[in-house]
Amino acid sequence: MRERVSALLLTIAVELVSSQQGLGAMIWFAWETLRTEELYAALAVTSLLGISGNFLLQWLATRLVPWQVERG
């Protein structure tokens, strides 16, 4: 499971850095031009999307795969 999470995070990181449009490009352009308000706003939106996506995936996993045993 840990490998899957690492692969997903790496994929998202590459997508953010190499994008031409969207939040990744907005973050990169704001960083290059020192527009801190835009940078923090885009980072906040990205964080909120990541947190809500994580909760959504956990909720779907408990609903769709109820027999899976949790590992501590």
Tens of each residue's pLDDT in the chain, 72 residues: 556 667 777 877 887 778 888 888 888 899 899 999 999 998 899 888 888 888 888 888 888 887 876 665
CA max distance for the chain:
50
Hey, where are the domains in the chain?
2-64
The structure tokens listed for 8 are 């997903």
User: Phi-psi bin for 69: left (phi > 0), alpha (psi -120 to 50), beta?
Assistant: beta
